[in-house]
Structure 1
Amino acid sequence: MVDEKIIISASPHVHSDKTSKKVMYDVLYALIPAFMVSIYVFGLSALIMTSVAVISCIAFEYLIQKFLLKTTITITDGSALITGILLAFNLPSTLPLWMVIIGSLVAIGVAKMSFGGLGFNIFNPALVGRVFLLVSFPVQMTSWPTPVENNTSLFDAVTGETTLGIIKEGLMYGETMSTLSDKIPSMMDLFLGITSGSAGEMSGLALIIGGIYLLIRRVITWHIPVTILATMAAFTGIFWLVNPEMFANPLIHILSGGAILGAFYMATDLVTSPMTKKGMVIFAIGIAVITVVIRLYGAYPEGISFAILIMNAFVPLINTYFKPRRFGSKITAKIV
Structure 2
Amino acid sequence: MTDYKNLKLIATSSPHIRGSETTRSIMLDVIIALLPALAFSVWNFGIEALVLTAISVVGCVFFEWLYRKLMHKPQSVGDLSAVVTGMLLAMTCPVTLEWWAILIGDFFAIVFVKQLFGGIGKNFINPALAGRAMLVASYAGSMTRWFDPASGSAPLFGGVDVTTAATPLSYLKNMDMEGLKAAYSVKDVFMGFIGGSLGEVSALMLLIGGIYLIWRKVINWQTPVAYIGTVAVLSFLFPKTGSGLEFMLYSVFSGGLMLGAFFMATDYATSPVTKKGQLIFGIGCGLFTVFIRYFGSYNEGVCYSIMVMNCCTALIDKYTKPTRFGVVKSDKKEASAK
Give the TM-score of the pair, scaled to structure 2.
Answer: 0.88
Query: Which residue of 1 is the match for residue 295 of structure 2?
Result: 297
C-alpha contact (below 8 Å) 1:177/1:245 kept by paired residues: no
Counterpart selection for 1:330 from 323, 326, 335: 326
Of 157, 161, 165, the match for 2:166: 161
For the structure 1 residues 269 and 291, does the alpha-carbon distance in structure 2 shift closer, same or farther, using more than 3 Å as the test?
same
- Mapped contact 2:168–2:180 kept (Cα < 8 A): no
One-letter code of the match for 2:43? Y
Following superposition of structure 1 onto structure 2, how do residues 1-336 of structure 1 map, counting pairs within 5 Å?
A: 16-67=19-70, 69-151=71-153, 153-154=155-156, 155=159, 156-168=161-173, 170-171=174-175, 176-183=176-183, 185-240=184-239, 244=242, 249-326=247-324, 329-332=325-328
Q: Which residue of 1 aligns with 2:333?
A: none
- 1:40 to partner: Cα distance: 0.3
Asked if structure 1 preserves the Cα contact closer than 8 Å seen for 2:45 and 2:154, the reply is: no
> Alpha-carbon deviation of 1:179?
4.8
Q: Distance in 2 between matches of 1:141 and 1:152?
A: 15
Structure 2 CA distance for partners of 1:128 and 1:246, relative to 1, 3 Å: same
Query: SS at the partner of 1:319?
Result: helix
Relative to structure 1, the CA distance from residue 243 to residue 57 in structure 2 (aligned partners, 3 Å threshold; closer, same or farther) is: closer
Report the Cα distance in structure 1 between the residues aligned to 2:186 and 2:319, rounded to whole angstroms: 40
Q: Secondary structure at the match of 2:269?
A: coil
Maintained 8 Å contact 2:255/2:300:
yes
Q: Is the 8 A contact 2:230 2:283 kept in 1?
A: yes
Q: Residue 10 of structure 1 aligns with which residue?
A: none
Q: Percent identity at matched positions?
A: 41
The alpha-carbon distance between structure 1 residues 182 and 15, as it changes in their structure 2 partners (threshold 3 A), is farther
Deviation of the 1:252 alpha carbon: 0.5
Q: What SS does the aligned partner of 2:235 have?
A: helix
Alignment-mate amino acid for residue 283 of structure 2: I
C-alpha distance in 1, partners of 2:301/2:145?
A: 17
Instruction: Give 3-state SS (helix, strand or coil) of 2:312's partner.
Output: helix
Q: Is the 8 A contact 1:61 1:75 kept in 2?
A: yes
**Paired AA for residue 330 in structure 1:** G
Amino acid at match of 1:17: S
Report the CA distance between 1:178 and its aligned residue.
3.3
Which 4+ runs in 1 deviate beyond 2 A?
Answer: 4-7, 14-17, 152-157, 176-181, 242-248, 331-334
| Cα distance in 2 for residues equivalent to 1:15 and 1:313 | 31
Partners of 2:329 and 2:283 lie apart in 1 by 34
Q: How far apart, in 1, do the equivalents of 2:241 and 2:187 lie?
A: 24
For 2:246 and 2:138, the matched residues in 1 are separated by: 29
User: For residues 270 and 171 of structure 2, what CA distance do their matches in structure 1 show?
Assistant: 32
**Distance in 2, Cα, partners of 1:306 & 1:146:** 25
Amino acid at match of 1:181: K
Unaligned runs of 5+ in 1: 8-13
In 2, the alpha carbon distance for the partners of 1:243 and 1:93 equals 29
TM-score with structure 1 setting the length? 0.89
Instruction: Give 1:153 shift.
Output: 3.8
Aligned residue identity for 2:178: S
CA contact (8 A) 1:56 1:101 kept: yes
Q: Secondary structure at the match of 1:47?
A: helix
Tell me the amino acid that sits aligned with residue 290 of structure 2: V
C-alpha change, 1:333 and 1:291, in structure 2 (3 Å) is closer
Aligned length: 315
Residue 158 (structure 1) shift? 1.1
Q: Label 1:66 to 1:273 Cα distance change in 2 as closer, same or farther (>3 A).
A: same
Contact 2:237/2:244 (8 A) holds in 1: no
RMSD of aligned Cα (Å): 2.2
Give the Cα–Cα distance (whole angstroms) in 1 for the partners of residues 150 and 53 of structure 2. 19
Distance 1:133 1:243, change over 3 A: closer
Query: Is residue 236–residue 244 contact of structure 2 (8 Å, CA) maintained in 1?
Result: no
What SS does the aligned partner of 2:94 have? coil
Structure 2 Cα separation of the partners of residues 269 and 15 of structure 1: 22
CA-to-partner distance for each residue in 1:80-103, whole Å, 9 max, x for gaps? 000000000000011001000000
